């Protein structure tokens, strides 16, 4: 019974998602579900798709997640059609063993056909071939990597405009904090349905913690305070969050849980930074750093990695406060720690952000020096690490410096070097912004 009580808050929210889906699926004019989720709700939506993909799912629809990167908007529909075929090939034998007709193959697209038309034709063919196994074919579009906002909105609108019969449905997930498809939904109101998930995951986790009990123990009390802290931050009640962080920190300090003491202050600092209060964030990150240093002095093995995380966040606080010189100093002073931990991604990030801070402070020589140190780190990375790092953004920063007279002759060699390291499409899209 206790296990069921713990699961109940999550199960109620899964049912809320299921109800939102049913309303959309039963609407004969709807073609795209524009699902709007807060940051902490995405994982539960993933769970919803997994549950419905399992034999225990309750909807009569087939959900398929399509994840090709959105690299070339004019060919994205072709990439989606190919992804559908590849997924099908992977389960063909399993379908045949279950007695299904697994002979489907994608129709050959006409020469020069529009990518969106190819995508819709492929999806319609897939649905028709497998009737009556499921009601709707639901294609959840989750492009991997960074997605340029304007190009993505234009492509989604084309897909909605050219959608065909009601048995193929599309799902696009949007961020409640930074919605990208709101205008598309407004313009295509006849075919797009927006649903704000509104799951209240902070409240759900607090309900789970209450059901888990043991709130009279240090472990249970810290767990519950930390969950309440997250909920207060989610609600942007930073006064209450400050009180809860102090209470959680007191429990962690008493028990000498260095990593949890750091976690309490770090969460509060992130909350202040998220609402544009960098001065308070810097203060709290200083407390987190002090806690990490105390844990390191006690020999806690995770303390150096925690300190690195805090130092990078502290630098972000100075950037948000427009204290670029102090931010550059923090990032440069953190280089030895990243080297000690042999964390090449974060080592590159230290140099990149130091260069960025110096650039913002108009200290071009210092920015170039730090950028070149970061480039050396990128050169010694293996290919996989290099491609998942922020090396492209570091290259962009160096390229901006070549617009100044003292570095103008470095533009061509720099472009060649970046292409050698990351390929011809190394430059991050301008619409993605500057990560920090």
Which residues neighbour 114 within 8 Å (Cβ) at sequence distance 6 or greater? 77, 162
| 188/243 same-domain check | no
| 12/137 same-domain check | yes
Which domain, by its residues, includes 149?
A: 2-201
- Best CA proximity match to 394, nearest among 364, 424, 363, 426: 426
Q: pLDDT by residue (tens digit) across 364-417?
A: 999 999 999 999 999 999 988 998 899 999 999 999 999 999 899 999 999 999
| 186/305 same-domain check | no
341 in a domain, yes or no? Answer: no
Last residue of one domain, picked from the residues 149, 167, 201? 201
419 in a domain, yes or no? Answer: yes
| 315/368 same-domain check | no
128 in a domain, yes or no? Answer: yes
Instruction: Please report the pLDDT score of residue 349 as a whole number.
Output: 96
| 121/247 same-domain check | no
Residue 6 has pLDDT above 80, yes or no: no
Q: pLDDT by residue (tens digit) across 84-134?
A: 999 888 888 887 887 778 888 888 888 878 899 999 999 999 999 988 888
290 in a domain, yes or no? Answer: yes
281: domain CATH number?
A: 1.25.40.10
Residue 435 has pLDDT above 60, yes or no: no
70 in a domain, yes or no? Answer: yes
206 in a domain, yes or no? Answer: no
| 224/182 same-domain check | no
Look at residue 33 and give its three-state secondary structure.
Answer: strand
Instruction: Please report the pLDDT score of residue 57 as a whole number.
Output: 66
30 neighbors 61 (Cβ within 8 angstroms):
no
Instruction: Please report which confidence band the pLDDT of residue 430 belongs to, taking 50, 70 and 90 as the band edges.
Output: very low
330 in a domain, yes or no? Answer: no
Q: pLDDT by residue (tens digit) across 341-372?
A: 999 999 999 999 999 999 999 999 999 999 99
Q: What percent of the chain has pLDDT over 90?
A: 60
| 315/241 same-domain check | yes
Which residues neighbour 418 within 8 Å (Cβ) at sequence distance 6 or greater? 391, 392, 395, 399, 426, 427
| 27/153 same-domain check | yes
345 in a domain, yes or no? Answer: no
Q: How would you label 285-319 residue by residue, b for 16+ Cβ within 10 Å and e otherwise?
A: bebbbebbbbbbeeebeebbebbbbbbbbbbbbbb
Last residue of one domain, picked from the residues 201, 227, 253? 201
Last residue of one domain, picked from the residues 150, 175, 201? 201
113: domain CATH number?
A: 3.40.50
Measured distance CA(77)–CA(57) in Å, rounded: 28
pTM passes above 0.75: no
| 157/255 same-domain check | no
Measured distance CA(381)–CA(374) in Å, rounded: 11
| 188/44 same-domain check | yes
| 47/143 same-domain check | yes
Q: How many domains does the chain have?
A: 3
Q: What average pLDDT score do residues 250-278 get?
A: 92
| 225/179 same-domain check | no
């Amino acid at each position: 019974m206790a296990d069921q009580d713990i699961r109940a808050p999550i199960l109620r929210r899964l049912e809320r998602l299921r109800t939102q889906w049913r309303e959309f699926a039963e609407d004969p004019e709807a073609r795209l579900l524009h699902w709007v989720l807060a940051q902490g709700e995405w994982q539960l939506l993933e769970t919803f798709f997994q549950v419905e993909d399992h034999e225990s799912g309750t909807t009569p629809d087939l959900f398929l997640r399509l994840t090709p990167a959105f690299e070339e908007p004019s060919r994205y529909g072709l990439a989606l059609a190919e992804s559908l075929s590849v997924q099908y090939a992977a389960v063909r034998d399993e379908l045949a063993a279950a007695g299904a007709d697994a002979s489907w193959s994608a129709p050959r697209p006409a020469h020069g056909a529009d990518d969106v038309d190819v995508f819709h034709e492929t999806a319609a063919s897939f649905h028709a071939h497998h009737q009556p196994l499921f009601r709707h074919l639901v294609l959840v579009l989750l492009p991997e990597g960074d997605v340029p906002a304007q190009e993505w909105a234009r492509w989604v609108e084309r897909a909605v405009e050219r959608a065909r019969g009601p048995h193929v449905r599309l799902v696009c997930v949007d961020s409640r904090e930074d919605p990208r498809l709101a205008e598309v939904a407004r313009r295509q109101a006849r075919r797009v349905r927006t649903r704000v998930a509104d799951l209240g995951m902070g409240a759900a986790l607090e309900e789970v913690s209450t059901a888990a009990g043991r709130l009279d123990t240090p472990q249970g009390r810290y767990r519950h305070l930390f969950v309440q802290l997250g909920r207060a931050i989610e609600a942007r009640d930073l006064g209450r969050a400050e009180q809860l962080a102090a209470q959680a920190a007191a429990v962690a300090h008493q028990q000498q849980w260095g990593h949890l003491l750091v976690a309490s202050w770090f969460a509060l600092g992130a909350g202040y930074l998220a609402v544009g209060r960098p001065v308070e964030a810097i203060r709290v990150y200083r407390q987190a750093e002090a806690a990490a240093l105390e844990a390191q002095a006690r020999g806690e093995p995770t303390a150096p990695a925690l300190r690195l995380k805090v130092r990078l966040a502290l630098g972000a606080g100075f950037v948000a406060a427009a204290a670029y010189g102090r931010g550059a100093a923090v990032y440069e002073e953190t280089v030895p720690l990243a080297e000690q931990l042999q964390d090449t991604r974060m080592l590159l990030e230290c140099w990149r952000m130091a260069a960025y801070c110096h650039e913002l402070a108009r200290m071009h020589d210092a920015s170039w020096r730090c950028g070149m140190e970061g480039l050396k780190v990128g050169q010694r990375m293996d290919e996989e690490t290099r491609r998942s790092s922020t090396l492209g953004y570091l290259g962009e920063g160096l390229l901006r410096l070549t617009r100044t007279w003292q570095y103008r002759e470095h533009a061509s060699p720099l472009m060649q070097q970046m292409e050698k390291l990351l390929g011809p499409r190394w430059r991050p899209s301008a619409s993605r912004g500057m990560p920090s």
